[in-house]
Amino acid sequence: MRFFHAARGRAQSVRGLRWGFGAALFALTIARDVDSRLLIERQVRKIMSMSLAGALVVGYAWLLLETHAVAGTTDLAQTVTAIPTVLFDTRFGQILVLQALLIVCALAVVWRGLDILAASLAGTAVMLEAGHSHAFAMAHIPLLRRRCCT
């Protein structure tokens, strides 16, 4: 049952990332050629913001589920206590930290009209999703150093 919830969390996180990235690409390409561009851009920015914010929230829930599974905790307090270990000592956590940083940066620039930067940041977060694969998780090269982030 734990696996099912973690897989569902990952699917929802990926969905939010892809929708945010797709909306950013739409804003850069198709929305530029429409007569009522300002109205469409506002709606697209809402979709990008909601999608990326959703990916961030669901990513945190996914982190809780994975931490519970990896650390073998029995209650929420133990799971929350184990989060820093999972974030910085596992490949999964390191990729999730990088994705979260990219999403936060994309959210910060989306309403400033920097669509190309928002699309680049969201696209990079989508590409990092490949880092959650089993093959990548088995590599022994650290992506983040615990010392620089504490």
145 pLDDT above the threshold of 70? no
- How buried is 62 (Cβ within 10 angstroms: 0-12 exposed, 13-18 middle, 19+ buried)? buried
Backbone conformation region of residue 73, classed left if phi is above 0, alpha if psi is from -120 to 50, else beta: beta
Nearest CA to 92 out of 10, 23, 37, 28 is that of 10
Note the pLDDT of residue 1.
Answer: 47
Q: Which domain holds residue 97?
A: 2-149
pTM summary value: 0.72
pLDDT for the residue numbered 30: 63
Residue whose structure tokens are 């184990």 = 82
Model confidence at 76: pLDDT above 50: yes
- Count of domains observed in the chain: 1
Q: What is the separation, in whole angstroms, between the first and last Cα of the chain?
A: 34
Residue scoring higher pLDDT (105 or 43): 105
Q: How far apart are CA 79 and CA 86, in angstroms?
A: 10
Between CA 121 and CA 97 the distance in angstroms is 14
Judge whether residue 90 has pLDDT over 90: no
pLDDT digits (tens, 9 = 90+) for 97-115: 899 999 999 989 888 877 7
Overall average pLDDT of the 48-73 stretch: 85
Give me the pLDDT at residue 101, please: 93
